[in-house]
Amino acid sequence: MTFQFQRATKRQAKARIGIAGPAGSGKTYTALLLATSMCNRVAVIDTEHGSASKYADEFEFDVLELDDFHPQNYVKAIEAAEAAGYDGLVIDSISHEWNGKNGCLELVELYAKRSKGGNKYAAWADVTPLHNAFIEAIHSAKLHIFATMRSKMDYIQTEDKGRTVIQKVGMAPITREGVEYEMDIVGEMDLEHNMVITKSRCKALADKMFRPPGKELADAIKAWLSDGAPVMEEEKQTTTQEAPVATDHEERLKRLFAIAKEQARAAGHPDPTLHARERWFAVTNTKTMEDVTTDALDRFEADLNAPELQMAEGQ
C-alpha cells in the first residue's frame, strides 16, 4: 500500500446542517427557511406527523412522511431524494432514528429478546452497523441536508424583575452521542426562536447568534460552501471508491478509544489509556492492536454503548 500526501485544496461542498431545540423552538420552520433559501428543489422526510406540511403555504417543497423509523428506511428515503434530483433535503427529525418506532433503541430491545439470555451487549453488534449506514448515507448524499433534532427537556428557575420565573429549556439532542461531529454546522434554538451556533466549520459563523435565523444565515452558508474549487465528477468517483479503504478502520478505532478513555476517566480509573486497551482485548478477543476488523470494532462499539443504553432506559 502506497501513502502519498497531496496539497490540501478547499472544495465546493454540500451542506450538512444540524438544528437542535425543544418543542416550539422553530426547528422545522428554520430548516425549511434555510433549505428553500439555499436550494432550487427541496424534499422533506417528515417523521413529525405532518408538521412540515403546515408551512406549505410559505415554502415550496415535496414531502415523504415516515411512520416506521428503522435506520434502513431513512437510508432509502435519502437515496430516493437524491435519485429524484432534489438539491436540498430536510430530515425532520433524525431523533426518531435513534429513539422512535423501530429506531435503534427499540431494535436493541427486539434483538436482545430474540437472543439467548436477552443479551443487549450482543444486540448492539447488530444495531450499530445500521446506525452507521444511516450516518454514511447523510455523508455521501450529493445534496444539501438539513437535519432537525429534538432536545431533551428540562426546567430551570430564573428571576425576571424580581419575580421567580420557571423556564423550559432544551438540553442534549435526542440522538446518538457524537452525531454533532458529523455535521458542518450545528445550531441550538431556544423558545424565543434564537439560534446559537454551537459547532461550525465555517469560521464566519462560529459562536454567532441569530435572532431569529433567516436569509442572513442562509447566505453566509452558501458563500462558505461555494468558496472553493469545483469538484469534478472524476474526483467524486475516485474519492468515493478509494478514500474509505485506507482510513476507515483507523479513524473509527481512534474515535472509539477516545470514548473508552473518557468513560474510564469518568469511572475514576487511574490509567484510562491502559484500561481502554484492556477493555478492547477483553471485548474483542484479540491479542494485538493490529487485529482490527469490522467485527471487532462493532463489538467494541456495542460494549461502549451499553452504559448509554442503560442511561436511556433509566430516564
Residue 95: which of 66, 122, 119, 123 has the closest Cα?
66
The total number of residues shown for the chain amounts to 315
Instruction: Report DSSP letters for 7-44, one per residue.
Output: ----B----EEEEEE-TTS-HHHHHHHHHHHH-SSEEE
d(CA 279, CA 313): 24
> Which of the two residues, 286 and 101, has the higher pLDDT score?
101
How many Å separate Cα 108 from the centre of its chain? 19
pLDDT in tens, 66-100: 999 999 999 999 999 999 999 999 999 999 999 99
Q: Give yes or no for residue 206 having a pLDDT over 60.
A: yes
Mean local confidence (pLDDT), 258-285: 82
Report the share of the chain in percent with pLDDT over 70.
84
Instruction: Specify the 3-state DSSP secondary structure of 64.
Output: strand
pTM, two decimals, is 0.69
Residue 21 parent element (H or E): strand 16-21
Q: Which domains does the chain show, CATH number per domain? A: 16-226 (3.40.50.300), 233-314 (no CATH)
pLDDT in tens, 92-145: 999 999 999 999 999 999 988 887 677 788 888 889 999 999 999 999 999 999
Q: Give yes or no for residue 243 having a pLDDT over 60.
A: no
Hey, which bits of 79-221 come out as E strands?
88-92, 144-160, 163-173, 185-189, 195-200, 209-210
pLDDT in tens, 188-201: 999 899 999 999 99
| Helix, strand counts (H, E) of the chain | 9, 9
